Amino acid sequence: MDAFTTLDGLVVPLDRANVDTDAIIPKQFLKSVKRSGFGPNLFDEWRYLDRGEPDQDSSGRPLNSDFVLNQPRYSGAEILIARDNFGCGSSREHAVWALLDYGIRVVIAPSFADIFYNNCFKNGVLPFVLAADEVDRIFKEIEANEGYRLQVDLAAQHVTLPSGETMRFEIDNFRKECLLQGLDEIGLSLQHADAVRNYETKRKQDAPWLFSS
């Protein structure tokens, strides 16, 4: 996994609440057995006017010019900001793979669904929560200022606005360290292998039926 430390990036505003993972990457693309190549189908049903199919070249498909990702001013955005409960619904990690493959490294919202939030950290994508009024303010500033960028600093846990003001965000230490260093979490967990074996030994005595199938 790529480490995440700081990012100075263009921001794309997705002014919706309850953006679900079905919308982020529709079901037909989940048939892939790979982790890559989902970017062209990010928000497929909102982004294109036709129905997308797996393994199709999306470069010639008719675009929905009303959809924010298709507006030239947001081309190359690396930060996505949205409303409440972003990433709700299906646990599909393909949603994060699609965002990452498209080039999004930071997602900002007033709240996130738990599984999506968790999936981001496994892929070097930083999701963080700002208060609803802070998010609202950023939406308004983006609207008023083409080329609106934010500077995100994970170690300092803050985001700097073009005005120079900063907004602080919270993140738990374990996730922060893994992201800052791009750590392999499985490798980290295997450091606990002896403790796990000891747990299993004791558990086999207390609850043998859990090991008999």
Partner 1 sequence: MLKNTLYDKLWNSHQVRTTAEGASVLYIDRHLVHEVTSPQAFEGLRIAGRKPWRVDSVLAVPDHNVPTTDRSVGISDPVARVQVETLDNNCVEFGLTEFKMDDPRQGIVHVVGPEAGATLPGMTVVCGDSHTSTHGALGALAFGIGTSEVEHVLATQCLIQQKSKNMLVRIDGQLRAGVSAKDMALAVIGEIGTAGGTGYAIEFGGEAVRALSIEGRMTLCNMTIEAGARAGMVAVDEKTIEYVRGRTYAPKGEQWEQAKAAWADLHSDDGAEFDRVVTLDGATIEPQVTWGTSPEMVLPVDGHVPRPEDEVDSVKRGNIERALTYMGLEGGQAITDIQLDKVFIGSCTNSRIEDLRDAAAVINGRKVAETINQALVVPGSGLVKRQAEAEGLDKLFIDAGFEWREPGCSMCLAMNADRLESGEHCASTSNRNFEGRQGQGGRTHLVSPAMAAAAAIAGHFVDVTKDNQGGV
User: In this structure, what are the phi and psi dihedrals at residue 80, rounded to the nearest 5 degrees?
Assistant: -115, 135
CB 6 within 8 A of CB 152: yes
How far, in Å, CA of 40 to CA of 57, rounded?
A: 9
| DSSP 8-state symbol, 167 | E
Task: Rule CB under 8 A: say whether 213 interacts with partner 1.
Answer: yes
Q: Please tell me what DSSP assigns to residue 105.
A: -
Minimum distance from residue 90 beta carbon to partner 1 (Å): 5
**Longest alpha-carbon distance in the chain:** 65
Which of these segments, 2-10, 16-24, 72-80, 158-166, binds partner 1 (CB under 8 A)?
16-24
Q: Give the bridge partners for 152, in sequence order.
A: 7, 159
Among 34, 144, 155, 164, the residue binding partner 1 under the rule CB under 8 A is 34
Alpha carbon distance 144, 26 (integer Å): 32
Question: Residue 124: which of 96, 146, 148 has the closest Cα?
Answer: 96
Residue 193 contacts partner 1 per CB under 8 A: yes
Beta strands in the chain (DSSP E): 6-14, 79-82, 106-109, 126-129, 149-153, 158-160, 166-168
Q: Smaller CB distance to partner 1: residue 42 or 96?
A: 96
47 binds partner 1 (CB under 8 A): no
The rounded distance, in Å, linking the Cα atoms of 162 and 102 is 24
SS3 42: coil
Site for partner 1 in 76-95 (CB under 8 A): 83-85, 88-94
- Considering the rule CB under 8 A, would residue 27 count as an interface residue with partner 1? yes
Residue 201 near partner 1 by CB under 8 A: no
Kindly identify the residues of this chain, within the stretch 102-131, that bind partner 1 according to CB under 8 A.
Answer: 111-115, 118-119, 122-123
Among residues 3, 76, 199, 204, which is the contact residue for partner 1, using CB under 8 A?
A: 199
Determine if 57 is a binding residue for partner 1 (CB under 8 A): no
Find, among 134, 142, 93, 98, the residue nearest to 113 by Cα: 93
- Per rule CB under 8 A, count of chain residues that contact partner 1: 64
**x/- binding map, residues 130-169, to partner 1, per CB under 8 A?**
----------------------------------------
Q: Which residues bind partner 1 (CB under 8 A)?
A: 15-18, 20, 22-23, 26-28, 30-35, 45, 51, 54-55, 83-85, 88-94, 96, 111-115, 118-119, 122-123, 172-174, 177, 185-186, 188-190, 192-193, 195-196, 199-200, 203, 206-213
